Every structure is written in structure tokens, then in C-alpha cells.
A and B are shown apart, each in its own frame.
Chain A
């Protein structure tokens, strides 16, 4: 099904098109939710409400930018909303001067996706959120700051702290090499 036809059918609330979209993108978007939310139940709830928003706001998709990117942004917002709902997000070490966020070490190992998720869920929510947004989603610090209502420096320091914590965790697993 080409994208134009799919969008027209989704706008007409065609149940078959909705199921097709869900089947195609839910594994990717559920994985996204799992990276932000440590509880699987919360990730399921975020996926559910995210898809509901995708289907009910399909008219607002203007066609500028990719459709997948538009869905990812909705899902990220949904996951962040759920995170904030669970507890106010704290950003430990906000005042840390974050001038050097370079990845100055190397990893030569393979980890399964489950192990990666387990590593990420060991990070405090603030670290994990900024790390996900910056490293995986490719957001800029300016965008993260606006999205989370924090300063650019806090975003940078959270990233630095997340990397340091992950470095420790990878070291503990014996797969980090300086």
C-alpha cells in the first residue's frame, strides 16, 4: 500500500488500514516506548495512547517530513508524558559543568536488545531520557531543553552523566575498553 492511499484510508477511519499501520509500526514504536519507560506496563499504555492519537489526529499530518518521523515524535511525547505522570522528573547533577561530552572510549562487543534495554533502565529517568533523545532520536540539546523544560546546560550534563553511568555498567559487564 503506498503512503498516499494509506493516508486517505486512515483519514476515512478505515479499520483495515488502521490494523495494517499498527501491525507494521507497533514493534518499532513499542521498542521506542520501552527505551523511555522502565515498566513494560507503562510502555504498553504509552503505545496505546500514542496510536490512538496517531489515528485521531491523522488530519494534522501535513506531509512535511516523513510519516514515520511524525509518528515517532507523537510516541516520544506520549512516553515523556507518562514518565512525568509517574513522578516529577528529576535531573540529578544539574549544575555539573558539561563541557566535554565526547565519547572518548571504545566498545567492541555485541549485546542483545534485551541487555541494552536492561542497561538503559538502570539509568535514572533524567539521564535515560536525555540519552535516548540525543543519542538514539537525534534531537539537539536546544530541542531537548524545550521539550523537557530544562536548560541546555542541564541537558548536556545529563548526557555526560548518562554516558559515565553507562560506562560503569559496561565496565561491570567487562565489555568496555578505554
Chain B
């Protein structure tokens, strides 16, 4: 067996379980990410609702103005 084969053979089945603390920290980061993304989608939804409401108000105002002026003719 040459050196490459030796190391490949020895390393092929080499597994080492990481300490539990690594998963705990990763889990916390992933939870933070989930919360952040959730907050972002809520903010996006809120902004969308506000924009739609403003557009509706504008439409009502324009229609009101239009009918007020057209009935006066």
C-alpha cells in the first residue's frame, strides 16, 4: 500500500461526533434566522396592506372628485 492509499483507507471511515454544544449554538442561530425572516414577511405584508389602502383611498378620492365635477356639469 502506498502513502496515498494508506491515508485514503484510514480516512474513509473516519467519523468524529462533534460536541453537543455545536448543535445547540447552530439551533439557536437557525431559530434567530427563522424569527428574522418571519418578521421580514410580516413587515412586507404590513407594507403591502398600507400601500393597497392608500391606493384605495386615492381611488375613492379621484372618483369622488370626478363624480362631483361631472354631476355639476
Instruction: Please report A residues at the B interface, Cβ cutoff 8 Å.
Output: 13, 15, 18-19, 22, 26-28, 30-31, 34-35, 44, 47-48, 51-52, 55-56, 103-111, 113, 116-117, 131, 135-136, 163, 166-167
B8 at the interface (CB under 8 A from A): yes
B10 at the interface (CB under 8 A from A): yes
A14 CB to closest chain B CB, in angstroms? 10
Q: Which residues of A contact B1 (CB under 8 A)?
A: 106-108
> In which size bucket is the chain B interface?
20 to 34
Residue contact A52 to B15, C-beta cutoff 8 Å = no
Q: In the complex, which residues 9-54 of chain B have their Cβ closer than 8 Å to any Cβ of chain A?
A: 10-11, 14-19, 21-23, 25-27, 29-30, 33-34, 37
B70 at the interface (CB under 8 A from A): no
Q: In this complex, what residue of B is CB-closest to A104?
A: B2
Residue contact B18 to A44, C-beta cutoff 8 Å = yes
Residue contact B16 to A113, C-beta cutoff 8 Å = yes
Rounded to whole angstroms, the CA-CA distance of A141 and B19 in the bound complex is 34
B33 CB to closest chain A CB, in angstroms? 7
Rounded to whole angstroms, the CA-CA distance of A107 and B41 in the bound complex is 59
Residue contact A107 to B16, C-beta cutoff 8 Å = no
Name the contact of A52 in the complex, choosing from B4, B10, B29 (C-beta under 8 A).
Answer: B29
